[in-house]
Amino acid sequence: MSTMIEEEPKKVEVSKKRKRKSTKIEFIEDKSRRQTTFSRRKKGLMKKMFELITLTGTQGLLIIASDSGHVHTFATAHLRPVVVNPYGKELISACLSDENDKSIQ
């Protein structure tokens, strides 16, 4: 004689995901907070660039200039000469020091 035991239906717990805090896109007055944000977002942007070129097999070059004048670059092998060669460095420097273009500042 066998008896059937009915199992209670399992309750599926729905996890509550934390929503990201919405950030207003406006200039950050506090220099320390601005530098922290720059550093964090620069790292994220470079990660996204790496993912994009890895997934699609394309070539990429990313140039980011900070307020302090440092230039941060990420380039694939084929575009690395633009960043490494003297002509490429001069070109980047000329673009960043162009007095006619105030959009960088």
Give per-residue pLDDT as tens, 22-81. Answer: 888 999 999 999 999 999 999 999 999 999 999 999 999 999 998 888 899 999 999 999
Instruction: Give the structural domain span for 86.
Output: 32-96
Domains of the chain: total: 1
Q: How confident is the model at residue 86 (pLDDT cuts 50, 70, 90)?
A: very high
- pLDDT score of 9: 63
| Non-local CB neighbours of 82 within 8 Å, separated by 6+ positions | 61, 75, 88, 91, 92
18 is a domain residue: no
Residue of 98 and 17 predicted with greater confidence: 17
Confidence of residue 104 (pLDDT cuts 50, 70, 90): very low
CATH number of the domain enclosing 55: 3.40.1810.10
Find the helix or strand (DSSP H, E) in which 21 lies: none
Q: What is the predicted pLDDT for the residue at 53?
A: 96
